[in-house]
Amino acid sequence: MKIFGLLRGAVLGWIDIVAGRAGWRDRFSFTGAGLIMALVVFALVALIVTLFETTGESISGFGIGAALVVEMMAVLAIVVASFAVKIVTRSAGPVRELIVPGIYALVPYVLVRAIMVAFAAPLVTLVLLGLAFLMFRLGRMAGPWRWPAALAFAVLMIVLLVGMPLTLYIVGNPANSPI
């Protein structure tokens, strides 16, 4: 599997998902190797973003590792949201059809979020709204769910994406929690 071919397929697949075209499944690899490659791409981008965000700061290797764990929680959010809505809706079909494209959608989210945090932090909400729209379209196409279930999937995904790192921060440092 060539990484640039996978990225090209993911971009074209997401264009098909947003446009509502039926051939979007042909653009992604839903095998175990395809899932691993999606995770590798996301992990590399998360590492690059983490290194960018810590430039000029004195941070240990453990600190970078901890930041990567927090970034990888986004993958956990897509997995939990996918399984939760699949179980509640009792829909058939492989969960990988939600997880693999979802991971590829998280790649530009992480990149754009890092840029927005550095230069225009209040606009991060717009990035989350954009990701919610992508998750809604993914739920409609891959679920395939009606709009209420797809909306629940998108909202749950965003709540988990925002809530899990905040919860980890509060549990790990209760004296300095923002709440």
Q: pLDDT digit string (tens) for 13-27?
A: 999 999 999 899 999
What residue segments make up the domains of the chain, in order of their start? 3-176
Distance of alpha carbon 139 from alpha carbon 88, whole angstroms = 13
Summarize pLDDT for 99-114 with one digit per residue, the tens. Answer: 999 999 999 999 999 8
Structure confidence at residue 177 (pLDDT): 59
pLDDT band at 174 (very low <50, low <70, confident <90, very high): low
Distance of alpha carbon 12 from alpha carbon 9, whole angstroms = 5
Note the pTM of the prediction, 2 decimals: 0.88
Structure confidence at residue 168 (pLDDT): 75
Structure confidence at residue 24 (pLDDT): 93
Structure confidence at residue 80 (pLDDT): 94
Summarize pLDDT for 20-54 with one digit per residue, the tens. Answer: 998 999 999 999 999 999 999 999 999 999 888 87
pLDDT band at 62 (very low <50, low <70, confident <90, very high): confident
Mean of pLDDT over the chain? 89
pLDDT band at 96 (very low <50, low <70, confident <90, very high): very high
Structure confidence at residue 167 (pLDDT): 78
| Rounded mean pLDDT, 1-5 | 78
